């Protein structure tokens, strides 16, 4: 046994997170040629939008793509954001799990500290080249080349230069060469990604220079800077025993457990800590938080989650949804639908205390939906913190929630084949992505329910509209059917009357009657006020007869 | 600008991979209470099966689960494998991205070095407790408790003891307490997971002791140890420029590029390196591999992938599929279907050179399919290297390939609502999982095609069978229809004949005639030999008339 066991474990090795993602690059979204290129652009654009938002600036972002060789492209992304200071550039672009976003409780598109470093990794792996950067800030221009040392997960900067500037320019430029990628305009492409990003970021100007040289500009449709996302303290209902332990161990200022709790969590008043203290007589709320045991923390957590304690809902001004007018404006300009309905819901929480807001919109007719071989397919546009989710639709809470809606109840007989676009945006301080590629939202019950409710709310508006449309259509069909027989009927009646009635006159009278009847139909029909669906289907049956 | 930029980056921090997965535990499969418990069992059982396989042992694995409190369970997994040596225990159970599997080119269930450490993390985060271990090997028993230091991604071992034993026992026992989990018997449960694991590992004995105390044993159905997976050298078509660079830099033995290539890759003969050398006149194949530049490697890689060079297919004896007889035996014992078809395909490659084998089976009738509110739904059982994939079905290559089959062509009119189970197992030295939770296979074209072909091959057998079934059914229906009128017909004819024919006699004769006709029907029908589908549908129309 001995030698066998030793032999098996003779190859025991440790690996860096950079090596892990290099080998499993599909987990970062680098799988498939078109998708890989979209992932590259996604990571850079996301960072640019976040940086501008945090600095309170209106983003101007330009993405340029050139074809170098078969399945080999040059990508450059430049923004007018705050730039990145010299000492942080390496880690920001060449070290995985390093960044400003990972540990903060604030709404941002990026949240893992992998994205841009993943791009650097992909450039190295596919072309052997580092990426190039220029950072403009503080009357300085720092430029250079940057690679990842995979074994150490450390950045390697070369050819770095620092120049003085007049300070008029600020922002970041990153460019790199990438192979095993492909540019097209399919539904998973850079083009679609940027179009959708523009759709939900009406305050951003985004330009795309395609490999053909064509320049597409998605201009700003609003000039107001969205409120800057604010970092908030976590809500007590959102934490578990382990979180409480970690906060307690890291505490530097509060001397007592009671003051620590008030300083650490939102909605935690002195009265609330007293209430908790009474519920946990075994825990000494006067002692230092550093001395809290797991057992203590477990008791406090249980008290927090007990039905006896009522909590004020989480602060929500840290969450910045897109807003109904912005969504309407964007949908109108991009899809020009025949009808649209937008719902803006109140903040909710998931996992007990993580606040989030769902916005949903339905667009029907016009350029909504996806063109299919015959007719149209429905289209679900998913967004998280205003970033488009193009991939992994299958396992996403948004897709599953939208598909779980009983569309028939809202007059949509076959949702899959309807000319309809459903837009859903989830905003939160922490979006529970299913993978590091950030393309799908985990199917948490509260999120699923909220998305479904938001979509159903919009669907009710659509139903009302469609009821009108259907009725109009039914009326037109009926009229047409009768019209077809009017001339014959008039002639027949004229003959029957033995010449007493003139066919032409009768036809005129009949036509007049029909016109009147069908233009007054709305008022008459409405007086009935029965079940809308039944009405529609019985009307349709009439037409078919 | 200055202060603003500085402020934004003042919170720049680095994080360990353990912290990353602690915050994003859903990426490891820890989302949802039932799923989390299944993930725990999955990681331990997978490790046990891999260890036994590598040591050439028939696995005996016991999983015990007890309910400690509401949504809090105790889980213990013990095996009869080789055990883990003392010096590796910490890293194996308490350090992410450490292990024997990550860097090896060999077929295994685990391949990332995260699993068991993820369980330790989950125990700590939900209950504050370390896991306990006992490792039996080399006439020794090493026992202790183990936690992860998240900040450092390092194991912390406490209360470790080492005892001498008589060496009769070997294997590993791990137990831990886990909260925020739930036990049930749903389709995503531990129960289902173990049932499916047993299905594709007929050489393993797996026992599950449920929280109720009930002990379920899935006995071995074959006593032969499957061939031990062999580590193979990578195939040239499976590597990119970067891989070649890394191999070249790590090379310690070969002095020349030509000998390095032959030593590193499979199917790389001296003749092949000569061929490559001729195609890359700029590259000196006599120089040390250490001096190869990216440019050199790119040229060599391009030559390798050019159409001019013909390669022998990858070695495939390193891949150990389940095997047709084993699958049939397992399906029979677990689903007892009315019909089944199993296809075993030849090895294929994806991404140019990673070998894989797909096996597919269809089971129809019996206990196949999933019971639904009314009737049945089809069931797709996915496996990768004999480990069940229960979650994230939506984005998985297997699901998408199975759904892309035109089932109607095979006599399955409505696949979703058919009482059918489709089993697919992909075996490979590297399965391209979409996430660290290892629950879905990336939709690589070659894998999709191969799965589809394997399933269609099995579907053709099913079609032939169903044709028979339909014909039988049609015959029975026809017979029944005629039988209903026989008595009346006989009486009517008797009356018409004016008493010359006796009704009873005629009825007898008619019945005899019908019996004969319908038992000889198969031979007669077969002589027609037209399009099977048309035949079926025309027969059905006859019945309907």
Q: Which helix (H) or strand (E) holds B192?
A: helix B190-200
* CA distances to A180, A288, A314, B71 from A354, in Å: 39, 27, 8, 21
Per-state percent for chain B, helix, strand, coil, to nearest 5:
45, 20, 35
Rounded CA gap, A310 and A300, in Å? 14
- Rounded Cα distance between B36 and B30, Å, is 4
* Class of residue B403 by CB neighbours under 10 A (exposed 0-12, middle 13-18, buried 19+): middle
pLDDT digits (tens, 9 = 90+) for A135-161: 999 999 999 999 999 888 899 999 999
Which structure tokens are listed for B279?
């195609």
**Which pLDDT does position B108 carry in this prediction?**
63
Residue B10 covered by a domain: no
Contacts of A84 in chain B (CB under 8 A): 5, 9
Average pLDDT, chain A: 84
Cβ of B466 under 8 Å from any chain A Cβ? no
B142 in any annotated domain:
yes
**Backbone phi, then psi, for B75, in 5-degree steps?**
-125, 135
Nearest CA in chain B to A294: B128
CATH number at residue A383: 3.30.230.10
Do B103 and A24 make contact, defined as CB atoms within 8 angstroms? no
3-state secondary structure of A529: coil
Element counts in chain A: helices (H) and strands (E): 16, 18
B468 close to B437: Cβ distance less than 8 angstroms: no
Confidence check: pLDDT of A324 > 60 = yes
Give how far A33 is from chain B: nearest CA, Å. Answer: 11
Of B407, B441, B412, nearest in space to B426 by CA: B441
A166 CB near a chain B CB, below 8 Å? no
Structure-block tokens of residue A514:
């029909």
What are the pLDDT digits (tens) for A35-50?
999 999 999 999 999 8
Is the Cβ pair A84, B5 closer than 8 Å? yes
Residue A194 · residue A178 · CB < 8 Å: no
Which residues are CB-neighbours of A312 under 8 A, at least 6 positions away?
Answer: A267
| Residue A177, H or E segment | strand A171-179
Out of A6, A98, A440, closest to residue B14 by CB: A98
A329/chain B closest Cα distance in angstroms: 32
Q: Is B57 on the interface with A (CB under 8 A)?
A: no
Q: Are residues A429 and A454 in the same domain?
A: yes
Q: Tell me how far apart the alpha carbons of residues A129 and A120 are, in angstroms, rounded to a whole number.
A: 9
Q: What is the dihedral of CA B446, B409, A395, B189, to 10 degrees?
A: -100
- Beta strand pairing status for B98-99 and B13-14? unpaired
Task: Answer for the pair A244, A300: CB distance below 8 angstroms, yes or no.
Answer: yes
A86 touches chain B (CB under 8 A): no
Q: How many CA atoms lie within 13 A of B497 on its CB side?
A: 12
Q: For a pLDDT cut of 70, what percent of chain A falls above it? A: 85
pLDDT over threshold 80, residue B318? no
Domain final residue, candidates B431, B457, B483: B457
Nearest residue to A117 via CA among A19, A49, A34, A205:
A19
Which pLDDT score is estimated for A528?
Answer: 39
Q: Which of A1, A11, A443 sits opposite B104 (nearest CB)?
A: A11
| Domains held by chain B: number | 4
Token pair in block for residue B160: 């470790």
Q: Band the pLDDT of A530: cuts 50, 70, 90.
A: very low
Span B393-400, mean pLDDT? Answer: 88
From the list A82, A112, A395, the residue facing B4 with the nearest CB is A82
With CA atoms as reference, the chain B residue closest to A151 would be B246
Domain shared by B193 and B249, yes or no: no
Residues 6 or more apart whose Cβ sits within 8 Å of residue A27:
A21, A435, A436, A437, B433, B434, B435, B436
Average pLDDT over residues B378-395: 89
Whether B23 and B130 map to the same domain: the answer is: yes
A169 vs B: CB within 8 A: no
For the record, the structure tokens of A505 come out as: 């006159």
The residue behind tokens 């940086």 is A51
Domain at B271, CATH number: 1.10.8.50
β partners of residue B422: B362, B380
Residues of B in contact with A442 (CB under 8 A): 26, 31
Dihedral of the CA atoms B77, B78, B81, B84 (nearest 10)? 80
Q: Are B85 and A9 in contact (CB under 8 A)?
A: yes
**B166 inside 8 A of chain A by CB:** no
The lowest-confidence range among A3-17, A31-45, A343-357, B133-147 is: A3-17
Question: What per-residue confidence (pLDDT) applies to B540?
Answer: 36
Q: From residue A112, how far is each of A92, A116, A438 by CA, in Å? A: 11, 10, 9
The answer to whether B237 and B276 have CB atoms below 8 angstroms apart is: no
Quote the pLDDT of residue A248: 92
pLDDT digits (tens, 9 = 90+) for A392-414: 887 799 999 999 999 999 989 89
Q: Cβ contact (<8 Å) for B167 and A1?
A: yes
Q: What percent of chain B lies above the pLDDT cut of 70?
A: 85
Separation between Cα atoms, residue A75 and residue A268, nearest integer Å: 48
User: What's the pLDDT at B517?
Assistant: 62
Residue A110's pLDDT band (boundaries 50, 70, 90)? low
**Per-residue pLDDT at B155 exceeds 90:** yes
pLDDT band at A532 (very low <50, low <70, confident <90, very high): very low
Write the residue in B54, B100, B434 that is nearest to A26 by C-beta: B434
Domain that holds residue B287: 236-305
| Exposed / middle / buried, residue B275 (Cβ in 10 Å: 0-12, 13-18, 19+) | middle
If pLDDT is split at 50, 70 and 90, which confidence band does B228 have?
A: confident
Maximum separation of any 2 CA atoms in chain B, in Å: 118
- Distance, in Å, from the CA atom of A348 to the CA atom of A427, rounded to the nearest integer, reads 10
Residue B224 lies in a domain: no
Residue of A1, A241, A433 with shortest CB distance to B82: A1
Residue of chain B with shortest Cα separation from A104: B11
Euclidean distance between CA atoms B521 and B475, whole angstroms: 8
CB atoms B436 and A12 under 8 Å: no
**Chain A residues whose beta carbon lies within 8 Å of the beta carbon of residue B17:** 17, 20, 97
Contacts with A, B 97-116, CB within 8 Å:
97-100, 102-104, 112-113
Same domain? For A366 and A481 the reply is: yes
Give the SS3 label for residue B461.
helix
C-beta atoms of A5 and B137 within 8 A: yes
Of these ranges, A381-395, B15-29, B293-307, B338-352, the one predicted with the greatest mean pLDDT is B293-307
**pLDDT band at residue A505 under the 50/70/90 scheme:** confident
Query: What is the dihedral sign for C-alpha B372, A444, B389, B223?
Result: negative
Confidence grade of residue B11 (pLDDT, cut at 50, 70, 90) = low
Closest to B8 (Cβ–Cβ): which among A15, A54, A241? A54
- Other C-beta atoms closer than 10 Å to the C-beta of A256 total 15
Query: What CATH number corresponds to the domain at position A173?
Result: 3.30.565.10
pLDDT band at B214 (very low <50, low <70, confident <90, very high): very high
pLDDT digits over B478-531, tens only? 677 667 767 776 777 677 666 676 778 777 777 777 676 655 544 444 443 434
Mean pLDDT of B32-45: 92
Q: Which residues of A touch B137 (CB under 8 A)?
A: 1-2, 5
Contact state of A113 with B15 under an 8 Å Cβ cutoff: yes
Average pLDDT, chain B: 84
* Chain B residue with Cα closest to A114: B20
Q: Is B176 helix (H, G, I), strand (E, B) or coil?
A: strand
Q: Which position has the token pair 């006859």?
A: B542
**A40 and A145 both lie in a single domain:** yes
The B residues from 9 to 48 touching A (CB cutoff 8 Å) are 9, 11-17, 19-20, 23-24, 26-27, 31-32
Higher pLDDT, A426 or B3: A426
The CA radius of gyration of chain A, in Å to the nearest whole number, is 31
Q: Give pLDDT, residue B99.
A: 64
Same domain for B189 and B275: no
In a shared domain, residues B243 and B121: no
> The complex's ipTM?
0.72
Radius of gyration of chain B (CA): 31
By the CB < 8 Å criterion, does A67 face chain B?
no
With CB atoms and an 8 Å threshold, state whether B11 touches A100: yes
B502–chain A nearest CA distance, Å: 52
Q: Which residue of B has its CA nearest to A293?
A: B128
For residue B241, the chain A residues in CB contact (below 8 A) are 126-128
CB contacts < 8 A (A, B)? 207
Contact B42, B189 (CB under 8 A): no
Task: Inform me whether the C-beta atom of residue A156 falls under 8 Å from chain B C-beta atoms.
Answer: no
Taking only the tens place, the pLDDT of each residue in B322-363 is 889 889 988 888 888 999 999 988 888 887 678 899 999 999
pLDDT of amino acid A539 = 35
One-letter-per-residue 3-state SS of B404-447: HCCHHHHCCCCHHHCCEEEEEEEEECCCCECCCCCCCECCCHHH
What is the distance between the alpha carbons of residues A478 and A476, in angstroms, rounded to a whole number? 5
Residues of A in contact with B394 (CB under 8 A): 392-395, 399
At residue A262, the 3 state secondary structure works out as: helix
Domain end, chosen from A281, A305, A329, is at A305
**Greater pLDDT, B515 or B159:** B159
Neighboring chain B residues of A128 at a CB cutoff of 8 Å? 241-242, 245, 294, 297-298
Give the pLDDT band of residue B394 (cuts 50, 70, 90).
confident
Same domain, B49 and B140: yes
Is A1 a member of any domain?
A: no
The shortest C-alpha distance from B276 to chain A (Å) reads 20
Asked if the structure places residue A228 within a domain, the reply is no
Contact between residue A192 and residue A54 where contact means Cβ atoms under 8 Å apart: no
pTM above 0.90, yes or no: no
Lowest-confidence range among A184-188, A445-449, B38-42, B520-524? B520-524
Shortest Cα–Cα distance, A323 to chain B (Å): 26
How far apart CA B171 and CA A327 sit, in angstroms, is 60
Of B98, B126, B137, the CB nearest to A14: B98
Chain-chain contact of A14 with B393 (C-beta, under 8 angstroms): no
Q: Are residues B336 and B443 in the same domain?
A: yes
b/e per residue A429-465 (b: at least 16 CB within 10 A): bbbbbbbbbbbbbbbbeebbbbbbbbbbbbbebbbeb
Higher-confidence residue of B114 and A448: namely A448
Closest alpha carbon within chain A to B169: A1
Residue B530 placed within a domain: yes
CA distance B507 to chain A (A): 47
Q: Which pLDDT score is estimated for B472? A: 74
Q: Quick check: A312 pLDDT over 90? A: no
For residue A279, the surrounding DSSP H or E stretch is helix A270-279
**Are A433 and A479 in the same domain?**
yes
Q: Are residues B58 and B86 in the same domain?
A: yes
pLDDT at B22: 86
Among A123-132, A187-196, B68-77, B501-510, the minimum mean pLDDT is found in B501-510
Cα–Cα distance for residue pair A58/A81, rounded to 1 Å: 8
Q: Residue A257: phi, psi to the nearest 5?
A: -60, -40
Cα separation, A521 vs A475, in Å, equals 8
Token output for A30: 């680098």
- CB pair distance less than 8 Å for A15 and B97: yes
Same domain for A195 and A278: no
Could you give the angle at the alpha carbon of A352 between the alpha carbons of B117 and B69, nearest 5°?
Answer: 60
- By C-alpha distance, the chain A residue nearest B440 is A395
Per-residue confidence (pLDDT) for residue A320, from 0 to 100: 83
User: How far apart are the C-alpha atoms of B109 and B431, rounded to whole Å?
Assistant: 9
Flag whether pLDDT at B212 surpasses 80.
Answer: yes
Residues in chain B: 545
Residue B395, in any domain of the structure: yes
Name the DSSP class of B395.
T
Q: For residues B498 and B398, give the distance between their C-alpha atoms in angstroms, rounded to a whole number.
A: 70
User: Which B residues 244-273 touch A at CB under 8 Å?
Assistant: 245
Chain A closest-CA separation from residue B17 CA (Å): 6
pLDDT above 70: residue A526: no
Task: Write phi, then psi, for B15 (nearest 5 degrees).
Answer: -135, 150
Is residue A12 in a domain?
Answer: no
Q: What is the pLDDT of residue B106?
A: 57
pLDDT tens readout for residues B448-486 = 999 999 999 999 999 998 888 777 777 777 677 667 767
Q: Is the dihedral of CA A77, A82, A83, A89 positive or negative?
A: negative
Pair type for strands B60-69 and B205-209: parallel
Are B173 and B76 in contact, with CB atoms under 8 Å apart? yes
State the pLDDT confidence band at A113, using cuts at 50, 70 and 90.
low
Write phi, then psi, for A109 (nearest 5 degrees): -70, -50
Contact B1 A167 (CB under 8 A): yes
Identify which of A6, A14, A126 has the shortest CB distance to residue B85: A6
């Amino acid at each position: 046994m001995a030698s066998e066991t030793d032999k098996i474990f003779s190859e025991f090795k440790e690996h860096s997170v950079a090596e892990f993602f290099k080998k499993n690059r599909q987990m970062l979204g680098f799988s498939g040629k078109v998708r890989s290129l979209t992932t590259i652009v996604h990571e850079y654009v996301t960072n640019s939008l976040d940086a501008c938002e945090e600095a309170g600036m209106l983003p101007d972002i330009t993405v340029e793509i050139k074809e170098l060789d078969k399945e080999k492209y040059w990508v450059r992304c430049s923004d007018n954001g705050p730039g990145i200071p010299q000492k942080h550039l390496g880690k920001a672009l060449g070290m995985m799990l390093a960044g400003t976003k990972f540990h903060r409780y604030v709404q941002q598109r990026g949240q893992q500290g992998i994205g841009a470093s993943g791009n650097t990794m992909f450039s190295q792996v596919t072309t052997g080249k580092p990426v190039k950067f220029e950072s403009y800030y503080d009357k300085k221009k720092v430029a250079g080349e940057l690679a990842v040392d995979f074994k150490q997960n450390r950045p390697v900067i070369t050819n770095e230069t620092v120049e003085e500037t007049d300070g008029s320019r600020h922002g970041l430029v990153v460019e790199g060469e990438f192979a095993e990628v492909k540019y097209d305009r399919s539904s998973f492409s850079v083009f679609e990604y940027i179009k959708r990003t523009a759709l939900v970021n009406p305050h951003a100007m985004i330009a795309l220079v395609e490999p053909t040289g064509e320049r597409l500009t998605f201009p700003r449709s609003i000039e107001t800077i969205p409120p800057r996302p604010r970092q908030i303290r976590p809500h007590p209902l959102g934490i578990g025993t382990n979180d409480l332990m970690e906060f307690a161990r890291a505490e530097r200022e509060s001397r007592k457990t009671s003051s620590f709790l008030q300083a650490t969590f939102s909605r935690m008043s002195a009265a609330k800590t007293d209430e908790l203290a009474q519920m946990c007589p075994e825990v000494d709320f006067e002692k230092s938080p550093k001395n809290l045991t797991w057992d203590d923390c477990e008791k406090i957590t249980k008290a927090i989650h007990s039905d006896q304690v009522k909590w004020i809902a989480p602060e929500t001004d840290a969450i910045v949804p897109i807003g109904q007018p912005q969504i309407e404006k964007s949908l109108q300009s991009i899809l020009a639908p025949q009808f649209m309905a937008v719902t803006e819901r109140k903040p909710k929480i998931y996992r007990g205390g993580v606040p989030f807001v769902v916005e949903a919109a339905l667009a029907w007719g016009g350029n909504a939906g996806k063109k299919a071989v015959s007719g149209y397919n429905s289209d679900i546009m998913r967004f998280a913190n205003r970033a488009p989710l193009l991939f992994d639709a299958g396992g996403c809470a948004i897709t599953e929630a939208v598909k779980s809606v009983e569309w028939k109840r809202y007059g949509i007989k076959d949702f899959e084949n309807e000319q309809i676009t459903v837009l859903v945006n989830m905003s939160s301080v922490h979006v529970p992505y299913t993978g590091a590629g950030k393309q799908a939202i985990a199917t948490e019950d509260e999120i699923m329910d909220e998305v479904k409710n938001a979509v159903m709310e919009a669907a009710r508006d659509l139903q009302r509209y469609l009821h009108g449309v259907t009725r109009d259509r039914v009326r037109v069909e009926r009229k047409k059917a009768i019209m077809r027989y009017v001339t014959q009927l008039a002639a027949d009646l004229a003959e029957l009357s033995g010449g007493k009635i003139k066919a032409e006159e009768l036809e005129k009278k009949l036509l007049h009657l029909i016109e009147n009847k069908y233009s007054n139909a709305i008022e008459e029909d409405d007086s009935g006020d029965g079940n809308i669906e039944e009405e529609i289907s019985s009307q349709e049956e009439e037409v078919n007869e």
